[in-house]
Amino acid sequence: MPGNIKVISRPPKLERKKRVAAYARVSSGKDAMLHSLSAQVDYYSEYIGQRPEWEYAGVFADEALTGTKDSRPEFQRMLTECRAGNIQIIITKSISRFARNTLTVLQTVRELKALGVDVFFEEQNIHTMSGDGELMLTILASYAQEESRSASENQKWRIRKNFSEGKTYNLHMLGYRAVNGVLEIIPEEAEIVKAIFADYLSGMGTESIVNKYSALGVSISTSGLYRMLRNEKYQGNLLLQKRFRDNHITKRDTINIGQLPKYSVIDAHEPIIDSETFAAVQTELARRAEIYAPRAKPQESYAFSGLIKCGKCGAAFRRKYNNAGTKYEKAVWICDTYNSKGKSACASKQIPEDILLAKVAEVSGAKNIAEILAPEHNRLIITLRDGRRVDTEWQSPSRRESWTPEMREAARRRRIINIRGE
């Protein structure tokens, strides 16, 4: 090899650090949440910093209100970062912290696995990218879901036990606060409640009441006002378990229409509204509902409704008015296809109602008609209830015969104007 050429070895390839993030669900109380989040940020910063091949990518934390995936904004933001290639490893304390729904856990883990993102569950010591990771994950996720269901059922049992003892739970309403399951009056709010009931009884409309108190800083909607005026708690009574949650995953409220028992407690706490005023408001609510309830439009029925069938397309004939709203208004029966889609869809012909009445009168009368078929122009096949069929023809009155004296005079004047060139 020539002496002027120096051979050097290739420098070692530098491995890119893996970006590692942590996911946590923190307690829902404000102070507790901040403390928990701060502690977890410190923990995961130190945990990830100890590994030279890792790079800290942050902590994503949601408030512990629900275990469903779609309702957790930080969880969704973390997934977006993974899809963008900005995270290669996620560390989380346990499967139940990651999601409480087995399907959600598996769907999310499989998506992340396809993206090359490993999820490490500390408590179970599972890496999802490992060979047996998904099998163990399926088993443990099912266990976590059952644990969540059991916790939910225990919570329901405590709530229903309180209901059976006449104690309310987690109440938020204007005028009261719940203390150990018993409602206590908040004096300044109680005065607002009394004023709202008085305004309604005085004849003030619901929109006016909402606007009045919104301007005073009291947040209330029209639907909320109706719920307030009907709420039996304001007269000192309780009706418990009006709603319930039947699913520990979605946690949606369901109206109780008999699926579970309701508990009625009379004189459970100090009333804000006396029983006479409350009863008067219920009477006024019913009176206004009767006055302002939308009236069902009566269904119009005519002598030939449902009787006439088009012989060309098979559609029913319907009644309509030509020149509606004018002095030339005239009732006719027309094929529904022709009326809605035009002559290109069905070339049938409308039938004046006075001609129909005359033809039916010639046969037997409308009460004895079973069906009228309009197979072609100016022809009717009338089937009677006794089975007889009558084939008859009709003619439209000529334009000249149908003209009134006023119409003839108007036409004469138009001709004169045209001749004069005006």
d(CA 335, CA 329) in angstroms, rounded, equals 19
Q: What are the chain's domains?
A: 18-149 (3.40.50.1390), 165-289 (3.90.1750.20), 308-405 (no CATH)
pLDDT band (50, 70, 90) for residue 302:
confident
Q: What pTM, to 2 d.p., does this model score?
A: 0.36
What kind and span of H or E run contains 61?
strand 54-63
Is the distance from CB of 100 to CB of 148 less than 8 angstroms? yes
Instruction: Calculate the CA 147 to chain-centre distance.
Output: 31
Residue matched to tokens 């739970």: 169
Q: What is each CA distance from 16 to 83, 296, 378, in whole angstroms?
A: 18, 72, 89
Q: At what angle do helices 102-114 and 133-164 cross, to 10 degrees?
A: 150
d(CA 298, CA 290) in angstroms, rounded, equals 17
d(CA 192, CA 181) in angstroms, rounded, equals 23
Is the distance from CB of 374 to CB of 348 less than 8 angstroms? yes
389: helix, coil or strand? strand
Lowest-pLDDT choice from 278-287, 346-355, 366-375: 366-375
Residue 1, token pair as written in the block: 């090899």
Average model confidence (pLDDT) for the chain? 77
Kindly state the average pLDDT of the residues 378-401.
77
| Residue ranges of E strands in 43-194 | 54-63, 89-92, 118-121, 126-127, 176-179, 182-185
Q: Can you give the pLDDT at residue 82?
A: 94
Higher-scoring residue by pLDDT: 112, 97: 112
Task: Residue 148: name the closest of 97, 186, 213 by CA.
Answer: 97
pLDDT digits (tens, 9 = 90+) for 319-347: 888 887 777 788 899 998 888 778 888 88
Kindly state the average pLDDT of the residues 273-298.
82
Phi, psi of 348 (to 5 degrees): -75, 175
Phi, psi of 146 (to 5 degrees): -65, -35
Q: Can you give the pLDDT at residue 89?
A: 95
